[in-house]
Each structure stands twice: as structure tokens, then as C-alpha cells.
Structure 1
């Protein structure tokens, strides 16, 4: 975390985010998984799977989903919804990108 202004927390540079791989960020005690998707969009969700607490930033990314590395639960990185037949959700965070900087809105 670099800066907190107007309800936004600077995460880092857009150009430094790996494509289709997760990155972990901390905002206070909140652990967040950040993903730059193949289409260039950046998404952020809570970094723990609702099933057994797997670290989602370590999961495989496909399209707008991440697969939990522990038990392969498929979670949408846009809204945090777990895909059927599993159920549950994780908190999704709004992301803003301005001038190569990525912010999480809190």
C-alpha cells in the first residue's frame, strides 16, 4: 500500500502487474488478490476462497475467473461469485486505473 486518498488506495503501476497471474496486496488487515486479465482489465477480490481459505492470488486465471489452488473452485473475479455446482462468494473491490496507476476503492 502506497497511498490512501479520497477512499482509494494506490496498489502500484498497471504496467508492473503480471497478465493472467495474481498479485497480493494488503489494505490494513484486508488481504486482496489483484488480477490483470487477458483483456487488460484489472479486478480485485478478497484473497481467500470461501471453501477452505485457499490463496486465490496463487490460482490459475482463465477469462474472468480464478481457480482456487486448493480444491479448484471457480470464482468470478468481477463479482466474487463462486460458480456452480459450488456455492458462496468473496468480496469484490472496485478498481480504478489512472495514468498507469492502479487504485482499489474502499
Structure 2
């Protein structure tokens, strides 16, 4: 894994998100109320909505455009046909957020 430092953990509020621009597209980093981190594509599979602008609830994100709900763990849409968004490994070390750059690049290929 190629861990890339994408910012400080305290830059993302609980139940908030941050967008990281990569060569492979935008990745959304989500922080849950339980202080867990998840990384997914920032683009809704339904109509391309900006997921980082959606509502984080539990381990889910709701798209702000049409209310599609995705699991932050698996990327699967709940109650939708064949809806799925890519997810990426993310972790924290010393208060910094690290994203697996290899996984992001592989999904874009």
C-alpha cells in the first residue's frame, strides 16, 4: 500500500467530510459520529451527486441530490438496484489522515 497524507484529522468535523482531488478523480473522506474514517468516490452512482455534501449518519452517507443512501463500509446503495460506489483504505496516524494511493489509482484503471 502506498499511504498518502491527505490532511489533519481535526480538519474534518464529526459527521463531516472532505474532498481530496487525485489524478484518478475526487475522493471523499468521511468522519462518523463515532470518530471512524471512511473513503469513497465523491460521485453518486445514481446521478453523479457530490457525496461529500451529503449527510453522514451511522456508517452511511445520503446523497444530497436524490437521497440515495450508501454504506461507507462497502459502497453498496441501500434499497437501490445495482448502485455501488468505490471505497478505499484510509487510516490515521499521529492525527494525520492517510489514504491508500495505490487503491485509488487501481480503481480508476
Structure 1 length as normaliser, TM-score? 0.89
Q: 1:29: Cα distance to partner?
A: 3.5
TM superposition outliers: structure 1 runs of 4+ over 2 Å: none
Structure ranking higher on relative contact order (CA contacts 8 Å, 6+ apart): 2
Gaps of at least 5 residues in structure 2 are 103-109
How far apart in 2 are the matches of 1:9 and 1:91? 18
Q: Over the residues paired in the alignment, what is the CA RMSD in angstroms? A: 1.2
Partners of 1:9 and 1:27 within 8 A in 2: no
Matches within 5 A, 1:68-79: 68-79=63-74
Task: Name the CA distance, whole Å, in 1 between partners of 2:36 and 2:43.
Answer: 21
Q: Does 1:57 align with 2:72?
A: no
2:10 corresponds to 1:15: yes
CA contact (8 A) 1:43 1:78 kept: yes
Higher relative helix content? 2
Count how many residue pairs are aligned between Structure 1 and Structure 2: 101
Residues in 1 aligned to 2:71 and 2:52: alpha-carbon distance in whole angstroms: 13
- Partner of 2:33, secondary structure, is coil
Specify every segment of 5 or more residues in structure 1 that has no aligned partner in the other structure, as ranges: 1-5
2:93 matched to which residue of 1? 98
Partner residue of 1:43 out of 15, 38, 43: 38
